[in-house]
Amino acid sequence: MGLEDFLGNGFVATRVKDLLAWGRKNSLWPMPFGTACCAIEMMSTMSSRYDLARFGAEVVRFSPRQADMMIVGGRVTLKMMPVLQRIWLQMPEPKWCISMGACASCGGVFDTYTMIQGVDQFIPVDVYIPGCPPRPENLIDAVRLIQDQVSAHEIQRIMDERTGVPNVERLQHMHALRAEQAASAGKKGVLPIIGGDA
């Protein structure tokens, strides 16, 4: 049954921002950053048994410039973090991030000098999934929480919080932030971004 069958000869009144949010909410494009066992659960979530396509979020393309939902699943080492940061910066706004599992969220049992003790020290995380490993249902739940944020028009607030600057000045501010990040490489919480344009 198509939309025209549902509407008949009637019409729908809505606001443009509601229409945009509805489209965004139902077409999230994931950027998977899977490094360990949690990534297997992530793959399982995309498979036919759990079928993330039911929520419009199955288009996994490994192309950050076309993705808007980062899923970090697995352990992230100090050496990998600049790569993760760079991929995150390459994703256009508005974008969201899911930290999947104990390792991504807090280092899990790997309290070692090589391991990042929570990716939120370096990139903003919108939804955390507990567990070792979390089940596919947990990831689906996280995607639905992101969808709630999108449909609640949280985009502007989240972007303003990230940048600290509302609306038109945001882009300039983000460029300045990147330059600052590169300059302060080595300080706690900031790793150098690999050379070249993000």
Site residues for ligand SF4 per CB under 6 A: 36-38, 74-75, 101-103, 108, 132-133
Contact 45, 52 (CB under 8 A): yes
**C-alpha distance from residue 124 to each of 69, 120, 141 (Å):** 12, 5, 19
Smallest distance from the beta carbon of 30 to ligand SF4, in angstroms?
17
Smallest distance from the beta carbon of 144 to ligand SF4, in angstroms?
20
164: left (phi > 0), else alpha (psi -120 to 50), else beta? left
Smallest distance from the beta carbon of 108 to ligand SF4, in angstroms?
4
42 vs 67, beta carbon nearer ligand SF4: 42
> Rounded to 5 degrees, what angle do the CA atoms 90, 149, 26 make?
75
130 vs 164, beta carbon nearer ligand SF4: 130
Smallest distance from the beta carbon of 147 to ligand SF4, in angstroms?
23
89 vs 98, beta carbon nearer ligand SF4: 98
94 vs 107, beta carbon nearer ligand SF4: 107
- 159 contact partners, CB below 8 Å, separation of at least 6: 93, 94, 170
